[in-house]
Amino acid sequence: MTRYFKHAYQVANRGFSGVFRWTLQSLRILVVFSVLFYVAVMVWLVFFAGKVNVQAHSVLVLSLQGPLVEESAGGLRDQVMGQLQGESRESVRLRDLVQVLDLAANDKRIECVLLKLDDFKGGGLVSLREAAAALDRFKVSGKPVVAWSAAYDQRQYYLAAHASEVQMHPFGEVLIEGLGNQRNYYKEALDKLGIEANLIRVGQYKSAGEPFVLNAPSRSALVAEAYVLDALWALYTAGIEGARKLPVGSVAKNIDALPGALQRSQGNAGQLAKDWRWVDRLQTYEALSEVLKKEVGQDDDHKSFRQIGFKDYLRSQSQPVKGDHIAVIVAQGEISDGRAPAGQVGGVSTADLVRQATQDEEVKAIVLRVNSPGGSVLGSELVRDQLRLAREQGKPVVVSMGDVAASGGYWISLASDAVVADPATITGSIGVFAILPTGKGLMGKVGIHTGGYRTTWLAGAYDPRLALDPRVQALVQANVSHVYSEFVAKAARARQLPTAEVQALAQGRIWTGAQAQQRHLVDQLGNFNDAVDVARQLLTQRKPSARAARAPLPIRYLAAPVSALETLAQRWLGQFGGALGETRLQAWVVAAVSALGGGADTNPGAQALAEGAVTAASLRSFGKDFLWLHGVLVQGQPFGAVAHCLCQMAP
């Protein structure tokens, strides 16, 4: 019996050992094949994914997805989270759109441009004007631009109006509303809750904190906003009327006559838009496709007309910039103290980019593209001071103002050789404020009391659970007043204006670029290309003999470095996102690659607070205002001032 069990044990052991060896060998083979597969994919992405064949007689299809921005916000993780949540976080970089149109104008393979705007979320008026100018330059080549959308909102239509032909679905409409800036005001609600905002500011027109201390806009705020919005509306309507060759003032006249005109057209908004010459043709996209098939031929791959997409064409034309160049640094979004991801301005991270450009011998000049409403004073000063050092080391610095360059966005523009603004840029807002919410009344209403021992009065002096200590208020007021004085003094020195004159132009008041130029707050009016030309002129003036015989210096955008793994993962995402239907599995794979490459930390507490505020309020605008207030409070400077302009980007 013992011999039988021993034999059985040996047989079983050999069996289990064989299974284990077989399993181990299978795993080894699986790992080897997995590694080979991913290596093959990476090789394909690096060497072959960017190869695009542009056929002759092709239509360049600009199917614009998302908002028009200077810099795409976030990074790979944001794209992945958007996929996991089923949300589209696509955006269109202005420089990419302009580059594609300028290249296609001289490309004999491109027959025409189809501007498809169904999913376009618009942008600020300056961005729209620069994109429209690129469309106008393309049309000069003699090639047409056809715009189509099921319907047009105000921002979509501004681009469409600059097409050679505007088409729309027969059941569509063109909705041009005008400009407005409606805010919620919370004083009464905060009083009922027992919360006091404690707004401390310098500047009669610095209205960013008013919603928390008033129940209606102040007269100063209304005057300032009306002055700017009326000017922006005039630029918007003039742009449409000029592009469509409509009578001056006809857009506003048609809006006034809309109720009666729509009744007379029996509610047919599409026909009314055609009668007003806002659109040229009413037809479906399928009908347009059939027309294009006859004009340029059929593309079997797309089962439609011969075409190439926006991103494919951009990738096929991209050429790296080598040698001497002008560095372009984008300062877009809110300004914070430390490091910030793409789409925001970090005092440390953006200053690092300026320092990098300053130390690079191949960088001969710097163009700072500003599209920011401001934020942290410290962050703004870190960027401004680094630009000052770049100038001291002999590198020209030119500021190109985009949609908004106000408050902190204007502050960082003060260390430059020249400031170029678009007539529609929102700028100025030289003013400072701080806001210190306290909720002693709220704590009392729910029966919560606060107390404890402190070695000095300053330890925990600002406690939102307690009434604001007058000594804290005095500290903050002194800080705000000091920062405002510094802001005015820096502006006076930079603009070479008397301090009293800058004081009169400051007070937190916003101006359009045209209004600012009239008041010498900016040097000249123009777009981004004009700013680059100014930088080239400054170089020629400083070294005429060295530059006379050379071609104009190219530009190169300077951004924070991205890991190789993240770059490959982003290319994977771009290649397979649509084809795989943005599957959750793909998102997890890219997330894993992103984790290997590292990334910025998030603030779970802040996110939870933000989500709670929006959910409790059930109103988007309410949540937006308080999220912004929370963003101010978590800057880490409890007694700090803020240089921020709550400017709405128009239109």
> Is residue 35 over pLDDT 90?
no
Following DSSP, what letter does each residue of 98-141 receive, concatenated?
A: HHHHHHHHT-TTEEEEEEE-TTEEE--HHHHHHHHHHHHHHHHT
**Distances from the Cα of 133 to the Cα of 121, 184, 526, angstroms:** 19, 36, 12
Of 3-12, 255-264, 315-324, the one with minimum mean pLDDT is 3-12
Reply yes or no on whether the pLDDT at 252 is more than 80.
Answer: yes
Q: What is the pLDDT of residue 44?
A: 46
Burial class (CB in 10 A: 0-12, 13-18, 19+), 576: middle
The pair of structure tokens assigned to 418 is 């020249």
DSSP string, 334-374: -EESS---TTSEEHHHHHHHHHHHHH-TTEEEEEEEEEE-E
Q: 10 Å Cβ neighbour count for 307?
A: 21
Q: Distance (Å, rounded) from C-alpha 640 to C-alpha 271? A: 56
Q: What percent of the chain has pLDDT over 90?
A: 65
Confidence of residue 305 (pLDDT cuts 50, 70, 90): very high
Q: How many Cβ atoms from other residues are within 10 Å of residue 116's Cβ? A: 19
Q: How far is Cα 527 from Cα 126, in angstroms, rounded to an integer?
A: 8
Cβ burial, residue 211 (10 Å; 0-12/13-18/19+):
buried
Active site residue 618: no
Per-residue confidence (pLDDT) for residue 607, from 0 to 100: 35
The number of helices, as runs of H, and strands, as runs of E, in the chain is 25, 25
Comparing 627 with 245, which gets the higher pLDDT? 245
Alpha-carbon distance of 589 to 248, in angstroms, equals: 55
Where is average pLDDT lowest: 73-77, 116-120, 217-221, 312-316?
Answer: 73-77
**In degrees to the nearest 10, what's the CA dihedral of 20, 23, 29, 35?**
-110
Q: Can you give the length of the chain in residues?
A: 651
pLDDT grade for 645, boundaries at 50, 70 and 90: confident
Q: Is the pLDDT of residue 145 over 80?
A: yes
Q: How confident is the model over 597-624, as a mean pLDDT? A: 40
Residue-level pLDDT at 575: 47
Between residues 601 and 225, the one the model is more confident about: 225
- Read off the pLDDT band of 466 (50, 70, 90): very high
Indicate the SS3 state at residue 230: helix
pLDDT tens per residue across span 181-191: 788 999 999 99
In the predicted model, what is the mean pLDDT of the chain? 83
370, β-bridge pairs: 331, 401
Laid out side by side, the sheet with 335-336 consists of 199-202, 432-435, 642-644, 374-376, 335-336, 345-346
Determine the pLDDT at residue 182.
Answer: 83
Percent of the chain scoring above 70 in pLDDT: 75
Q: Confirm if 405 and 433 have CB atoms less than 8 A apart.
A: no
pLDDT band at 438 (very low <50, low <70, confident <90, very high): very high
| Sign of the torsion formed by the C-alpha atoms of 581, 586, 588 and 593 | negative
Q: Greater confidence, 47 or 451? A: 451
Instruction: Pull the structure tokens for residue 385.
Output: 């001071």
Whole-angstrom distance, CA of residue 125 vs CA of residue 403? 6
How many angstroms separate the CA atoms of 335 and 342, rounded? 12
Residues 6+ apart with CB under 8 A from 230: none
* Tokens found for residue 185: 């005001």
Residues 508-512, mean pLDDT to the nearest whole number = 96
Cross-strand partners of 93: 69
pLDDT band at 623; cut points 50, 70, 90: low
Q: Over 90: is that where the pLDDT of 402 sits?
A: yes
pLDDT band at 150 (very low <50, low <70, confident <90, very high): very high
Least confident interval from 47-56, 339-348, 529-538, 565-574: 565-574
Does the global pTM surpass 0.85?
no
Residue 557, SS3? strand
206 has catalytic annotation: yes
Place of tokens 């003039």: 238
Does residue 504 surpass a pLDDT of 80?
Answer: yes
Alpha-carbon distance 86 to 647, whole Å? 30
The one catalytic residue in 121, 206, 395, 490 is 206
Residue 644 pLDDT class (50, 70, 90 cuts)? confident
Q: Are 394 and 415 in contact (CB under 8 A)?
A: no
What structural domains does the chain harbor?
Answer: 58-180+220-317 (3.90.226.10), 325-560 (3.90.226.10)
If DSSP codes are grouped into helix, strand and coil, which group holds residue 54? coil
**pLDDT reading at 15 higher than 80:** no
Pick the more confident residue, 89 or 613: 89
DSSP string, 476-537: HHHHHHHHHHHHHHHHHHHHT--HHHHHHH-TT-EEEHHHHHHTTSSSEE--HHHHHHHHHH
Q: How many CA atoms are closer than 13 Å to the CA of 96, on its beta-carbon side?
A: 22
Predicted confidence at residue 615, as pLDDT, reads 38
Residue-wise over 192-204: b if at least 16 C-beta within 10 A, else e?
Answer: eeebbbbbbbbbb
Q: Left, alpha or beta for 479 (phi > 0: left; psi -120 to 50: alpha)?
A: alpha
Question: Distances from the Cα of 363 to the Cαs of 17, 89, 214, 396, in angstroms?
Answer: 65, 33, 49, 10
pLDDT band with cut points at 50, 70 and 90 for residue 14:
low
Catalytic residue of the set 149, 349, 407, 429: 407
State the pLDDT at residue 647. Answer: 65
pLDDT of residue 2: 54
The amino acid sitting at 415 is A
Q: What is the pLDDT of residues 565-590, one digit of tens each?
A: 544 454 444 444 443 333 443 433 33
**What is the spatial distance between Cα 165 and Cα 296, in angstroms, rounded to a whole number?**
17
Helix (H) or strand (E) holding 199: strand 199-202
Give Cα 583 distance to the centre of its chain.
Answer: 26
pLDDT mean over 271-276: 97
Q: 284-302, pLDDT tens digit by residue?
A: 999 999 999 999 998 877 6
Q: Which of 202-211, 353-362, 642-651 has the highest mean pLDDT?
A: 353-362
Q: Is the pLDDT of residue 34 over 80?
A: no
With beta carbons less than 8 A apart as the criterion, state whether 404 and 124 touch: yes
For residue 24, the model assigns a pLDDT of 62
49-72 per-position pLDDT tens digit? 555 788 899 999 999 999 999 998
